[in-house]
Amino acid sequence: MKKIPIDTGEHVPLYNQKNTIMDLVSQSFKKIAPFWPLKNLIAVNPLQGLEDLPIEDALILGSAYFQQDNLPRQMEGVNRITIKWLQVYFDDGQATISIPFKNEGLYSAWRRLVIYDEQLHANNEQHKYLLSTLPETPEQAIVECLLHFKIVQEEAEQFLTLMLTTLPGWAAHIKYRTEWVNEFNSVNSNPVTQADYMAIRLIITRLLWQEAKELLDWHNCALEKPHRNYFDKIQKTEADYSFPLIKKLSTQAIKKSHIPEAQFIFCIDVRSEPFRRALESTGDYQTFGFAGFFGIPSQITDTVSGDSYSSCPVLLTPKHEVKESPSSVGQCRQIQKGHKRLTSLKRLYQSVKYTFTVPFVLVEILGFLSGLWMGIRSLSPSLASTFKTLVLNTFRTPYDVEPSLENISFNDQCAYAQDALRMISLIDNFAPLVVFCGHGSTTENNPYATALDCGACGGRRGASNARIIAAILNRSEVRLHLAKNGINIPESTHFIAAEHSTTTDEVTLYKVCDNPQTKKIKDDLLKARNITNYIRLQKMQKNVKQSNAMSKVLLRSQDWAQARPEWGLARNSAFIVAPRDITAGLDLNGRCFLHSYDYKEDSAGNYLTTILTAPMVVAQWINMQYLFSTLDNVAYGSGSKVTKNITGKIGIMQGNASDLMTGLPLQSVYSSDTKPYHELQRLMTVVFAPRYMLDKIINNQQVLKKLFGNGWVQIVAIEPESRKSYLLKRDFSWQEID
């Protein structure tokens, strides 16, 4: 059988060096933003790969790359075949039978099996011969395909980029697996390289579309098309909101500090702001804002289930493994046995549910019970939730956990404690009770659940980090070290952990002693919950009464058919770095990230540098994800929840073979199918500190130069002495705001 010839004419240079191909592939992936799997969804700017451009230019280029709805017909065929193979390879437990040779890597496994794909080779002898004689390495396969398509080296990067941007969702997941997975969250069962993916895309294209070089002309035509001027609309929305806000912030007074009844440190998440305001209205409470991982980059391991996950911003790599175990050592074995029984039951149900024939038999046998359960879940979600909890507690006794600090050295513990307190300027006037409050969401049947959890904890709930920092600060040795460094914590002060459910506004306190003080605090937390429930429910439905707001909000969290259990971080608009007094008297409507900070306690600007290069960057990712999911929910979002399908437990598709949808669903950013709820705004960062501090920090941080200089984020400085406000221009000069 004759091998398909490769045109290696003089007009087509040979790609002889492996490094050349690897560099070209790497450069092509720079246009792609990463996409995390459903188990820990992280907000990302979908145009992250274009942030080196001014935002107005990136919007145009992004439109040409990602917003084209007229893909060449042949490319749609290539996509269908590609999606089919990626679904089976990256499946994370949804399929009953996994793909063979998975541990060898994507290209190697595909190379062994693709000869059996009749849909691809269509029994064409030449195609079958090509598939049976594929190069052993993906790099060589890429070279052969580029030569076959007569792609000269000057065109290669653009052509490879188009191989990615014509199926950007899956390319984004490859980007995550190849650039963002570390030793703490490795996925060794699905090894992949960027060259693996690129080689497969090219080989499939070679078989289905011989003239694929036409993609270059197609892209050039897309660039020449008229583009909607989104940037003007964004600027108009910003002017209507941001500048009135800045005027209000610049007039707030700093009050004299005192010792309150209790102090609460919440995550900077915008959903904390209404609750903080409500809690402060119920009593003498002081609240602070701090990134929800509380400065401790940890890998949390549950000793009962064996589950392990990173609990820190994805910009950081975990430094310590912290094991969480049942507080009652005597019950540990009983709890572990209960967990094993529950896990076995879930596995049995899963194997039955996803096997081809069994579901039909199961419905026949258990049809009445299944129908009854579905009816209860639909008609009485609260009853279904109560019954489900009762069953789970029967198999596994509820238990409290506590963290082990053995893997965090004493010096690190002292450093984390000091940095946490100094960064938010909680260095004196400690209340008798100080609460570190993480957060998480409470929803049913929601594939996007982790997108509502704590972004600072890597798309996980934040209670574990709260337990760690509280345990550290309760150690007498740590307090003695802090006292030597000017932070004197009274013996009467006790630190505890808590968790705020952003869906129901319930705050759960952990390991708190029952006494009159804590009873009052619990009562006030309940009052704050009712106030916030009413505020949030008003944004979701009409004819709301405060008397039944709590029950209605709880119902939304328990309803498995609820497409909009909460608004999440929709309408986020500003990142405010200032003492709480600057914002405490204002109703910020749940639209602002609030990070506590006092420039007087940070003469070197180290803490401000950390705030701007870590929490603010995460906030910018969140802001851009909401902005672009609203701007074009098909290209940058994930479409309607009603028509979605989960693939491989890793992502969302529309229909049965769409690209991976990497953004937020329509219901998260639209109040109806046609009316946006989120407003198109860039993040406005407002810092209560002298401009000279900001100048020094920005000049030394390349990421800030990029974000501010290219207009992805705007920053305003409020001068503490004069209270005048200044906007940083693109050329890094300051313009006073009238």
pLDDT tens for each residue of 13-31: 556 666 789 999 999 999 9
Residues 332, 333, 334: CA angle, nearest 5 degrees: 90
The pLDDT value given to residue 6: 41
The pLDDT value given to residue 395: 72
Decide if 690 is inside a domain.
yes
Q: Do 607 and 675 fall into the same domain?
A: yes
Q: What is the mean pLDDT of residues 170-183?
A: 92
- Maximum Cα interatomic distance, the chain, rounded to a whole number of Å: 88
Q: Do 542 and 585 fall into the same domain?
A: no
Q: What is the mean pLDDT of residues 577-606?
A: 96
Q: Do 560 and 582 fall into the same domain?
A: no
Contacts of 628 (CB under 8 A, 6+ apart): 45, 46, 47, 636, 637, 663
Decide if 367 is inside a domain.
no
Tokens of 488: 């004197």
Decide if 418 is inside a domain.
yes
Decide if 480 is inside a domain.
yes
Closest CA to 166 of 83, 59, 52, 110: 83
Beta-bridged to residue 684, according to DSSP, are 574, 714
Decide if 60 is inside a domain.
yes
Decide if 621 is inside a domain.
yes
The pLDDT value given to residue 4: 37
Share of the chain above pLDDT 70, in %: 92
Is there a contact between 184 and 317 (Cβ–Cβ < 8 Å)?
yes
Q: What is the mean pLDDT of residues 126-148?
A: 95
- Choosing from 545, 568, 591, the residue where a domain stops is 568
Q: Do 173 and 26 fall into the same domain?
A: yes
Please state, rounded to an integer, the average pLDDT across all residues of the chain: 91
Instruction: Write out pLDDT tens, residues 398-408.
Output: 788 999 999 99
With cut-offs at 50, 70 and 90, classify the pLDDT of residue 189: low
Range of the domain at 441: 259-327+400-568
- Going from the C-alpha of 168 to that of each of 162, 487, 639, 730, the distances in angstroms are 9, 50, 15, 30
Tokens of 21: 């191909």
Number of domains in the chain: 3
Closest CA to 648 of 37, 170, 87, 34: 87
Q: Do 459 and 516 fall into the same domain?
A: yes
Q: At what angle do helices 18-29 and 138-148 cross, to 10 degrees?
A: 80
Instruction: Write out pLDDT tens, residues 233-283.
Output: 999 999 999 989 999 999 999 999 899 999 999 999 999 999 999 999 999
Q: Residue 244: what are its φ and ψ, rounded to 5°?
A: -60, -35
Q: Is the pLDDT of residue 1 over 70?
A: no
d(CA 442, CA 446): 10
d(CA 668, CA 657): 23
Q: Do 123 and 203 fall into the same domain?
A: yes
- Choosing from 543, 568, 593, the residue where a domain stops is 568
The pLDDT value given to residue 354: 61
Closest CA to 178 of 105, 78, 91, 98: 105
Q: Do 217 and 104 fall into the same domain?
A: yes
Closest CA to 464 of 595, 269, 318: 318
Instruction: Write out pLDDT tens, residues 484-501.
Output: 999 999 999 999 999 999
Q: Do 550 and 687 fall into the same domain?
A: no
Measured distance between the N- and C-terminal CA atoms of the chain, rounded to whole angstroms: 79
Is there a contact between 651 and 38 (Cβ–Cβ < 8 Å)?
yes
Contacts of 298 (CB under 8 A, 6+ apart): 310, 311, 312, 318, 319, 320, 321, 322, 464, 465, 468
Q: What is the mean pLDDT of residues 197-203?
A: 98
- Going from the C-alpha of 690 to that of each of 319, 597, 693, 718, 724, the distances in angstroms are 33, 13, 6, 7, 10
Q: Do 307 and 200 fall into the same domain?
A: no
- Compute the residue count for the chain: 738
Decide if 28 is inside a domain.
yes
Q: What is the mean pLDDT of residues 586-600?
A: 97
Q: Do 697 and 551 fall into the same domain?
A: no
Share of the chain above pLDDT 90, in %: 77
With cut-offs at 50, 70 and 90, classify the pLDDT of residue 533: very high
- Choosing from 224, 242, 267, the residue where a domain stops is 224
d(CA 148, CA 127): 14
Q: Do 726 and 601 fall into the same domain?
A: yes
Q: Do 220 and 234 fall into the same domain?
A: no
Q: Is the pLDDT of residue 358 over 70?
A: no
- Give the predicted TM-score (pTM) of the model: 0.94
Decide if 360 is inside a domain.
no
Alpha-helical (H) ranges within 124-213 are 125-132, 138-148, 153-165, 168-179, 194-208
The pLDDT value given to residue 513: 83
